[in-house]
Amino acid sequence: MLPLKWRVGLHNALFARAAPPPAPSGFAPFDEIAARAARRSDINEHLLTLFAEAVAQRPRLMVELGVRGGESTFVLERAAALCDARLVSVDLADCARTSSYRGWTFVQSDDVAFAREFAGWCRARALEPAIDFLFLDTSHEREHTRRELAAWLPLLAPAGKAVLHDTNLRRPYWRRDGSWNLGWDNARGVIAALEEFFGARFDENREFIAVRRGWLLQHRPWCAGLTTLQRLPGTGAPR
Ligand SMILES: C[S@@+](CC[C@H](N)C(=O)[O-])C[C@H]1O[C@@H](n2cnc3c(N)ncnc32)[C@H](O)[C@@H]1O
């Protein structure tokens, strides 16, 4: 049996096809993200979706949990610039040079610990501590994701939106362009934490839209999974 890495390479050589890039729009932020999305990465097939989901919020305050190489930051800084929003990014590692957007602030911290300080941190900077757009992409471990959801979802504005990456992480995982990529087996960590939060079972390898406990969920299974959470209007505070 060939090693998995070789099988992934062979699979990609035989079955993957390059997705046709969208025609240039003439709108620089979109075209820059589209160019980035044309290069395979662990998140490339979600970059335009992330931009669309963020801009649709007309955000004033955006928070990104997990920066690393800055793929999501590249998208979120463009959405923030378009909306003249503040973007706060958090990571355990020093990622302070990832963005040059003037409305960007990097906080080097454990994200759950920072959530406890967030309201005071915002007030000290004359910011309303109500998050319009929250992106979670950190450890991918169940217990940590459970604590992230508990700590950060209550900080969303009433019409705020949260987006989680790696809700269908596998080894390997699949992209819509037919390619595979080597992820790691996180024992369904992120989606299992969502199942616990919503008291439901989800089939993360299929696309779905669901309503649970006053939230609208939209799940895209490809490229390790991307799941959007938005509280339905008139359903009160987050749980
Ligand atoms: C998958 S990478 C983020 C990828 C990034 N969003 C992108 O699109 O390029 C995960 C990041 O989460 C960070 N991280 C892991 N656990 C964390 C925690 N408890 N608090 C803050 N950041 C954490 C890691 O340092 C790492 O940089």
CATH of the domain at 204: 3.40.50.150
- Tens of pLDDT, residues 30-80: 999 999 999 999 999 999 999 999 999 999 999 999 999 999 999 999 999
Ligand 1 pocket: which of 138, 148, 223 to mutate (most atoms within 8 A of CB): 138
Does any domain span residue 52? yes
Whether 98 maps to a domain, the answer reads yes
Task: State the total domains in the chain.
Answer: 1
Distance 81 CA to ligand 1 centre (A): 22
Residue 237: inside a domain, yes or no?
A: no
Domain extent for 211: 4-15+28-231
Residue 207 domain-assigned (yes or no): yes
Residue 235 has pLDDT above 80, yes or no: no
Q: Is residue 20 part of a domain?
A: no
The mean predicted confidence, pLDDT, of the chain is: 95
Atom of ligand 1 nearest to the CA of 144: 19
Q: Which of 216, 218, 129, 225 has the alpha carbon at shortest distance from 181? A: 225
- 208 three-class SS: strand
The per-residue pLDDT for range 186-228, each reduced to its tens digit, is: 999 999 999 999 999 999 999 999 999 999 999 999 999 999 9
Residue 238 lies in a domain: no
pTM given for the model: 0.96
H helices present in the chain, as ranges? 4-15, 28-37, 47-56, 71-83, 111-123, 142-152, 189-198
> Which residues are within 8 A (CB) of 102 and not within 5 positions of it... i.e. 6 or more apart?
none
106-151 pLDDT tens trace: 999 999 999 999 999 999 999 999 999 999 999 999 999 999 999 9
Determine, yes or no, domain membership for 218.
yes
Whether 61 is in a domain gets the answer yes
Burial class of residue 11 in the structure, from the number of CB atoms within 10 Å of its CB (0-12 exposed, 13-18 middle, 19+ buried): middle
| Three-class DSSP category at 29 | helix
Q: Whose CA is nearest to atom 5 of ligand 1?
A: 67
